[in-house]
Structure 1
């Protein structure tokens, strides 16, 4: 039995025994209602869309803000603490990619809640980049426009600072996906994208850059980005992906710095309305970066 199978089997046993830790809700396809204007937030930076308000989030899946005292939000806080521990040391590992094997495993919701949790810390400024040009969703969950963003920076040389959306939520800025493109894989795998990631890393050396990417299997974008970032967080939804596909996806990221795995949507108590997740440091079961 592989190390990956061992950790998944352990999580399954935990579910059957009724113990575990609260988890992040899974990614959903339903749209978010447009944000309702809120009172101005003193000191909030203004973005290109001229909103002087703090975003009023209405999506129930952004629990780091909408339900900050909930058990699920507490688990995101724990996940945030683990990420900080793994990325701060002699060198600040500030560029982090979040991905999954297939769509629908909760990677975008995980990206958003990690970014929100980090941004509400006094010590951390966060930039969340929606690099899933195939199925962008960050703008939908936040209720912000997607008129300009990453694709415009890569294709038209638009300065990233001019298209950032300042949310007014902690110290969080958003780079939306931008206008649709016909060739997302060529664009994301281009040398311009590699240069762009390095530009973000050095232009904002004191902030976390969280990058939401397409799933690993079937699309090459995640593989291309993984080689450029400091670390990878891998989201696995229970019962969603055959173990063979999971192995293949993780194998494709071999050589990347996989910080850990979020085991998502694990229902450990059939009488509870909550879902659960388990976060594991990848080195706990992958050994020296092997698949």
Structure 2
């Protein structure tokens, strides 16, 4: 753990990035183009409008627990950590007028998808916000499987032009929260992410409503050039570092590659320190 902290502190001093460590119970790592008609998209995201355009799928609570999706459970011992992270992220984004956030990690198995899902749920719990979670990890999409979603139409069809965005979105039974999942890996993913179709899609998702925060789950920085292909289309990025997962060199290399983008901070995930929020 010390080598991870040292690498984070070194990168912080070099880039001016604010570190955002998050801790939780050891069992639950922290924090452990087809344009849709405007009225259809609004129905998808407005909590006062019934989800007549977007299918509402009731999620299996036991499945979510097994995959460490806990932000919707306010009595869960790890949910406070996601609330804390959400508040810091939203404050920084509001200061700069940002509405799109990418989540990545140096290497695989850092828990970035878990953080992305829980953070997006936490944002949706703010009554003046709506959140949209997009699975742009086109090499190893995990958002759908983590939530237990099985969809015939997903981002795969949107990117091939055979379906509209509204057709691919789903509401997982949580108010103000919509998911745009990817069901299958996509070949030549970096080229797809750098395409004009994805650029148009990101513009549409970002600009449609001022209360919308778009959270994008991306591949690890060192896995390929996918992250670098999409980040010019995203306002800011958050990096998830798994304790004991990435080496100091890998963390430093990832920070170097992200240096020219708006890096909000680093989440130290899978921290085995005891819970300190005993007040609750």
Question: Normalized against structure 1, the TM-score is what?
Answer: 0.75
Quick check: 1:87 aligned with 2:89?
A: no
The equivalent of 2:218 in structure 1 is 213
How far residue 132 of structure 1 moved from its aligned partner, in angstroms, is 0.8
Change (3 A) 1:93 1:240: same
Q: Tell whether the 8 Å contact from 1:47 to 1:165 is kept in structure 2 after alignment.
A: no
Q: Tell whether the 8 Å contact from 2:129 to 2:213 is kept in structure 1 after alignment.
A: yes
SS in 1 for 2:233: coil
SS in 2 for 1:127: strand
Query: In 2, distance between residues paired with 1:206 and 1:74?
Result: 23
Query: In 1, distance between residues paired with 2:276 and 2:137?
Result: 25
How far residue 225 of structure 1 moved from its aligned partner, in angstroms, is 1.5
Query: In 2, distance between residues paired with 1:170 and 1:263?
Result: 28
How far residue 259 of structure 1 moved from its aligned partner, in angstroms, is 0.7
Change (3 A) 1:190 1:140: same
How far residue 22 of structure 1 moved from its aligned partner, in angstroms, is 2.8
Query: In 1, distance between residues paired with 2:184 and 2:108?
Result: 21
Q: Tell whether the 8 Å contact from 1:267 to 1:275 is kept in structure 2 after alignment.
A: no
How far residue 8 of structure 1 moved from its aligned partner, in angstroms, is 8.0
Query: In 2, distance between residues paired with 1:78 and 1:222?
Result: 26
The equivalent of 2:9 in structure 1 is 7
The equivalent of 1:62 in structure 2 is 69
How far residue 146 of structure 1 moved from its aligned partner, in angstroms, is 3.4
Change (3 A) 1:139 1:97: same
The equivalent of 1:247 in structure 2 is 252
Change (3 A) 1:258 1:189: same
SS in 2 for 1:80: helix
Q: Tell whether the 8 Å contact from 1:148 to 1:179 is kept in structure 2 after alignment.
A: no
| Count of aligned positions | 247
Matches within 5 A, 1:251-270: 251-269=256-274
> Higher mean Cα deviation, 183-192 or 239-248?
183-192
Q: Tell whether the 8 Å contact from 2:23 to 2:30 is kept in structure 1 after alignment.
A: no
The equivalent of 1:25 in structure 2 is 29
Matches within 5 A, 1:151-166: 151-156=156-161, 158-166=163-171
How far residue 249 of structure 1 moved from its aligned partner, in angstroms, is 1.2
Query: In 2, distance between residues paired with 1:250 and 1:6?
Result: 9
Name structure 1 gaps, 5 residues minimum: 10-19, 29-40, 277-291
Query: In 1, distance between residues paired with 2:125 and 2:102?
Result: 20
Change (3 A) 1:244 1:179: closer
Quick check: 1:113 aligned with 2:118?
A: yes
How far residue 180 of structure 1 moved from its aligned partner, in angstroms, is 3.7
How far residue 173 of structure 1 moved from its aligned partner, in angstroms, is 0.3
How far residue 2 of structure 1 moved from its aligned partner, in angstroms, is 11
Query: In 2, distance between residues paired with 1:3 and 1:112?
Result: 24
Matches within 5 A, 1:182-197: 182-197=187-202
Quick check: 1:231 aligned with 2:233?
A: no
Q: Which fold has the larger relative contact order, with Cα–Cα distance below 8 Å and residues 6 or more apart in sequence?
A: 2
Quick check: 1:181 aligned with 2:186?
A: yes
> Which of 74, 81, 90 in structure 2 is aligned with 1:75?
81
How far residue 223 of structure 1 moved from its aligned partner, in angstroms, is 1.3
Change (3 A) 1:146 1:210: same
Change (3 A) 1:42 1:251: closer
Q: Tell whether the 8 Å contact from 1:119 to 1:170 is kept in structure 2 after alignment.
A: yes
How far residue 142 of structure 1 moved from its aligned partner, in angstroms, is 1.4
Q: Tell whether the 8 Å contact from 1:93 to 1:231 is kept in structure 2 after alignment.
A: yes
